[in-house]
Copies of this chain bind each other. A is one copy, B any other.
Amino acid sequence: MATPPWTRRHILSLEDFSVPEYDTVLRTAASFREVLSRRTKKVPTLQGRVVTNLFFEPSTRTRSSFELAAKRLSADTLNFAAGTSSLTKGETILDTAKTYLAMGTDMMVIRHSQAGVPQAIAREMERLGTHVGVLNAGDGLHEHPSQALLDLFTICSQLDCDNPRTELLQGKKVAIVGDILHSRVARSNIWSLTTSGAQVHLAAPPTLLPQRFIEAMGVYHPDRLHLHWHLDEALEGADFVMTLRLQRERMTAHLLPSLREYQQFFGITRDRLKHCQPEVKLLHPGPTNRGVELSSDVMDDPELSLIQAQVTSGVAVRMALLYLMGGRHD
């Protein structure tokens, strides 16, 4: 099968990603995973190019993953972290982005606690006639595309390590458990998994998963998306169980009675996994609250948990994304 050429300058949302695009990402990431298995894990692809991490919301894990991906492509990296920054001096976000543009940034990786910021910066970069690519590394409750793409890569690699591809997801059941309503990871995963052909079963307490969620989300394949307010229904026959991080702030907002009660009804334990396929695998975007979303023993069981594989996939997938975005203008 011939690959269509990559046409996206920005990666902002998975809402309009096509199956061939997912397959291009999976294939490219697989080739970078091969690079990462070598002793010298670098390629000169982005030598002399500048990747700027604009993290208006603090993050160590995701920023490190992008920084390492950029360094392994031989790019120079700049890190902007809110806090000690000009933002506290009254500069607007667009002005900050334009400053890094003017310094010579080729690609921007952007995280912000407000939905829409990476999109607004991408529009501004277009309006100014630049070739800068923008990658959304998490915007508010909206999307986190690179996380969902690394989840997709992890799942497909589990099904066929040498040739991860979307068609492997046909007939597979993926349960997504936790605070769906407030999760940008869940939103991006719902787009990628339903488009790729999986059956997606969401499980959460009603306060975190309202009845109208599916309509409001507007997925193109509503027949592939299912809601459950009881965990066991969602787990029934699942091939993959994706747990979401529980923000402790939800408790104070009275959306949950207590961590203990959440753990009792929605925490994944070995006992609960009996409902799933025998080969079931667990995912979590991290950082985990041990013993809340997942019991410690299932989290540490290498036969069950793909959590470490997700982190490793993250570097390969982010290399692939920067490569595809950066290669557009060759």
**Interface, chain A (partner B; CB < 8 A):** 36, 38-42, 47-50, 58-61, 64-65, 67-68, 71-72, 76, 78, 80-81, 83-86, 89-92, 95-96, 98-104, 245, 248, 286-290, 308-312, 314-315
Q: How far is the CA of A80 from the CA of B290 in the complex (A)?
A: 21
Q: How far is the CA of A65 from the CA of B50 in the complex (A)?
A: 12
Q: How far is the CA of A42 from the CA of B44 in the complex (A)?
A: 13
- Known A60-B84, A288-B91; judge A99-B311 contact (CB<8 A): yes
**Is A287 a contact partner of B104 (Cβ separation < 8 A)?**
no
Hey, which chain B residues are within 8 Å of A40, CB to CB?
Answer: 47-49
A91 — nearest CB in chain B belongs to which residue?
Answer: B287
Distance in Å from the Cβ of A5 to the closest Cβ of chain B? 20
A248 — nearest CB in chain B belongs to which residue?
Answer: B90
A290 — nearest CB in chain B belongs to which residue?
Answer: B92
**Is B48 a contact partner of A60 (Cβ separation < 8 A)?**
no
A52 — nearest CB in chain B belongs to which residue?
Answer: B64
**Is B95 a contact partner of A287 (Cβ separation < 8 A)?**
yes
Q: How far is the CA of A95 from the CA of B65 in the complex (A)?
A: 15
Hey, which chain B residues are within 8 Å of A36, CB to CB?
Answer: 104
**Is A64 a contact partner of B80 (Cβ separation < 8 A)?**
yes
A46 — nearest CB in chain B belongs to which residue?
Answer: B40
A88 — nearest CB in chain B belongs to which residue?
Answer: B58
* Copies of this chain per assembly: 3
A309 — nearest CB in chain B belongs to which residue?
Answer: B102
**Is A68 a contact partner of B50 (Cβ separation < 8 A)?**
yes
**Is B48 a contact partner of A91 (Cβ separation < 8 A)?**
no
**Is A286 a contact partner of B86 (Cβ separation < 8 A)?**
yes
**Is B60 a contact partner of A67 (Cβ separation < 8 A)?**
no
Q: How far is the CA of A245 from the CA of B95 in the complex (A)?
A: 14
**Is B41 a contact partner of A86 (Cβ separation < 8 A)?**
no
**Is A289 a contact partner of B68 (Cβ separation < 8 A)?**
no
**Is B99 a contact partner of A78 (Cβ separation < 8 A)?**
no
Contacting A76 at CB < 8 Å: which of B72, B84, B245? B72
Contacting A58 at CB < 8 Å: which of B47, B78, B84, B91? B84
**Is B86 a contact partner of A61 (Cβ separation < 8 A)?**
yes
A92 — nearest CB in chain B belongs to which residue?
Answer: B290
A38 — nearest CB in chain B belongs to which residue?
Answer: B48
**Is A99 a contact partner of B61 (Cβ separation < 8 A)?**
yes
- In the complex, 29 of the A-B residue pairs with CB atoms within 8 angstroms, ordered by the A residue number, are A39-B48, A40-B48, A40-B49, A41-B48, A41-B104, A42-B76, A48-B72, A50-B68, A58-B84, A60-B80, A60-B81, A60-B85, A61-B86, A61-B99, A64-B80, A65-B103, A67-B78, A68-B103, A71-B76, A86-B286, A89-B287, A90-B248, A90-B287, A92-B290, A99-B286, A102-B308, A102-B309, A103-B314, A104-B312
